[in-house]
Amino acid sequence: MNSSCSLGIPSLTSGEKAHSEIEISLSARNIRRLLSFQRYLKSSRFFRGVTAQNSLYILDDDYNGQAKCMLEKVGSWSFDIFLFDRLTNGNSLVTLTFHLLSHHGLIDHFQLDMVKLRRFLVMVQEDYHSQNPYHNAVHAADVTQAMYCFLKEPKLAKSFTPWDILLGLIAAATHDLDHPGVNQSFLIKTNHYLATLYKNTSVLENHHWRSAVGLLRESGLFAHMTLEERQHMEGQLGSIILATDISRQNEYLSQFRTHLDRGDLCLDNASDRLFILQMALKCADICNPCRTWELSKQWSEKVTEEFFYQGDVERKYKLDVSPLCDRQTSNIANIQIGFITYLVEPLFVEWARFSNTRLSQTMLGHVGLNKASWKGMLQERSSSEEAD
Ligand SMILES: [Zn+2]
């Protein structure tokens, strides 16, 4: 029996077989999502006639004391999202985003229906793939928490409108929605339908955005707004999420630099505030090396695991193994050093020029220390290899 027969799909190319391995887990996940949503509907007291006035109190009662206690420090840069996720029983994204929206008074301001909001957030959380080591709902919760820290910075806080804050938090929570755990080049070389649909351009980011729009519409969260407002929200959400395409980093970064050199950013302008939301989400998305070593190291391990898993599938199906995905030639330390040097440091140096605060200095401090730690590990490794 040849290998294609054993898979039961003899007409597929090896690339297509590789992504079919990923598709199988997708359909299982959709069923799980439905089940868990049903479970949620039954279990939540929310759906048993709790009124909007006292529902916040009831919600607080829903998660335990320690998680609630952590939320009092949700604006702290050392917030441990892994611990928070455990304390909320894997519901960090729903719990954190709901808390931030209510804390900012956005539920009242936009007259959001609490039931629809909860339903939307549960669907968002469930549409992340929990089997992805890195691109899962905990990463989305982490990015949302970082976005919140940036929104609190004085420059942003004094000029951002409730609309901007709502937009920023929703963009952060949904920015990697339904991420398959492999990168764009994998989707292209395996002829994945998403690559065709989005013409090989920002394939993942377009999919995250369209998935977010789909859930917004399905939940009816903004159904009470005018069509114009809804379209405006969906369009802006797209421009923020699309900015997270790392292959377009230089484009955004040079635009940011030019604005800072000219000193012409005016946050009274809606278009400049949108640009800062794009930059803030880009920063939040790649801020792992700016966290404390304990948190940063865990993220590095998770992202490396996801890269290497892709590399293993590529090798198995005799496709070119993507850069950074080959466990035989790459290692966690050199991946991190490259990532920090070429992507993280250049971005955060500019962010610190824009928002020169204690938080920016703390983040740059952690980046420096973390890079030094990875370099130390690399040196140890090479000296032990020499000793062998
Ligand atoms: Zn992300």
85 Cα to the center of ligand 1, angstroms? 17
Asked if the structure places residue 251 within a domain, the reply is: yes
Asked if the structure places residue 291 within a domain, the reply is: no
Cα gap 372→378, rounded to integer Å:
10
Percent of the chain clearing pLDDT 90 (strictly above):
80
Asked if the structure places residue 365 within a domain, the reply is: no
Cα gap 256→254, rounded to integer Å:
5
Work out the pLDDT band at 290, boundaries 50, 70, 90: very high
Cα gap 179→241, rounded to integer Å:
13
What pLDDT does 104 receive?
86
Total of domains in the chain: 1
Which domain, by its residues, includes 69? 13-279
Asked if the structure places residue 324 within a domain, the reply is: no
Closest by Cα among 137, 134, 154, 168 to 325: 134
Cα gap 130→128, rounded to integer Å:
6
Mean pLDDT of the chain: 89
Asked if the structure places residue 382 within a domain, the reply is: no
238 Cα to the center of ligand 1, angstroms? 14
Question: How does DSSP classify residue 321?
Answer: P
Residue 259 is a catalytic residue: no
175 Cα to the center of ligand 1, angstroms? 6
CATH assignment of the domain containing 192: 1.10.1300.10
For the stretch 41-64, pLDDT in tens is 444 444 434 444 433 444 445 557
Question: Which residues are placed with Cβ below 5 angstroms of ligand 1, an ion?
Answer: 176, 285
As a whole number, mean pLDDT of residues 191-200 equals 96
The reply, when asked if residue 206 is annotated as ligand binding, is: no
What pLDDT does 21 receive?
61
What pLDDT does 292 receive?
98
Structure tokens at 310: 């892709």
Percent of the chain clearing pLDDT 70 (strictly above):
84
Closest by Cα among 194, 214, 193, 216 to 204: 194
What pLDDT does 356 receive?
98
What pLDDT does 138 receive?
98
Asked if the structure places residue 371 within a domain, the reply is: no
* Residue burial 32-52, b: 16+ Cβ < 10 Å; e: rest: ebeeeeeebeeebebeeebee
**Is the model's pLDDT at 10 over the cut of 50?**
no
Structure tokens at 124: 């968002």
Selected catalytic residue, list 99, 135, 179, 366: 135
Question: How does DSSP classify residue 308?
Answer: H
36 Cα to the center of ligand 1, angstroms? 24
More confident residue, 31 or 179: 179
Asked if the structure places residue 19 within a domain, the reply is: yes
SS3 267: coil
**Is the model's pLDDT at 315 over the cut of 60?**
yes
Work out the pLDDT band at 14, boundaries 50, 70, 90: low
